[in-house]
Amino acid sequence: MTKIPSILLIYTGGTIGMVKDYKTGALRTFNFDKLLKHIPEINHLKCTISSISLEEPIDSSNMNTTNWIFISEIIEDNYEKYDGFVILHGSDTMSYTASAISFMFENLSKPIIFTGSQLPIGDLRTDAKENLITSIEIASARENGNPIISEVCLYFEYKLYRANRTTKINAEHFQAFTSPNYPPLGESGVHLKFNKQLIYKPTIIKPLKVRKQLDNNVAILKIFPGITKTVVESILSSKGLKGVILETFGSGNAPTDKWFVNLLEETINKGVQIVNVTQCLSGSVIMGHYETSIELEKIGVISGNDITTESALAKLMYLLGENIPKNKFKYLLETQLRGEISLIE
């Protein structure tokens, strides 16, 4: 007899966990123990569902590294008891949290699916029901007794994405997320279809390791035409700074002004890691492709390839927390660890 998968639902906060009090019009937190009352369709899913809600739901704008560690510990503590995990999270910073969790969980062999919604669960036209039901279905999907998904994913509006490839693109439409440089891992329509050739499959099941030493002494420096030395200097001279995501133009280009390059070089020489990420929604950094990025390559700026800013930030925090030797840091940042960047042919 086939074992029925058990899924743990973790509510961290966000619109999906809200219901409207129709007498007052105010939104209040949803009691997930009464899930079947609000969404009876869940009875049709071939799995058992348990739920944990944070005592104080977190608006996703308030998410931080401490919260990421707390979420990771809930999964870690329950990892052996459940076959899959669905994390309900506010959409604003979901790509950041989901990317961070993907780096924190090494040797993952079970699905961790992030989802949320643009409208509360009790609203007439809500997207919450479909996102929640399908996420649970994905987390419990199995083939030959093994989970189809064994990585951290994000499901939203009929599409399943690799979490560390996503970015939020819309504050109003139901299709709030995209994965600019990697195709969806699955799609929900009349049938739930997986693009199995794109899904990560662990060849050897190793013991789970949860990496919780995140270092948030990092900054994002988005360059723009007319950026001043004072602005760049103020960010790069921040006390305790260990890493910088440098958001550049096009395929990794930046001003060639001597002061700009000198400031970056001085910062790198102090041991600060600088990662070059494109401001474009899709595409890749190609260092040295244009004259305006040759200087960056020369002074030791690391190429982010086609990584998203959200994923680059999470990866930087993770690697800094692991105290990687300086001579290995560049290699690991430019190497695919959790499917977050495309392999360079």
Task: Point out the residues that are catalytic.
Answer: 15
State the CB neighbour count (10 A cutoff) for residue 209: 12
Q: Which among 242, 257, 240, 300 is positioned nearest to 276, based on CA atoms?
A: 300
Spatial separation of the C-alpha atoms in residues 219 and 308, rounded to whole Å: 15
Place of tokens 């890493």: 243
- Which one-letter DSSP state was computed for residue 18? E
The alpha carbon of 86 is separated from its chain's Cα centroid by a whole number of angstroms, namely 14
Pairing of strands 192-194, 186-188: antiparallel
**Which structure tokens are listed for 225?**
């035409």
Kindly report the backbone phi and psi dihedral angles of residue 93, in degrees, each rounded to the nearest multiple of 5, phi listed first: -120, 20
Decide if 157 contacts 166 (C-beta within 8 A): no
Strand partners, 87: 10, 114
Count Cβ atoms within 10 A of the Cβ of residue 153 and give its class: 0-12 exposed, 13-18 middle, 19 or more buried.
Answer: buried
Decide if 174 contacts 157 (C-beta within 8 A): yes
The alpha carbon of 198 is separated from its chain's Cα centroid by a whole number of angstroms, namely 17
DSSP string, 217-235: -EEEEE--TT--HHHHHHH
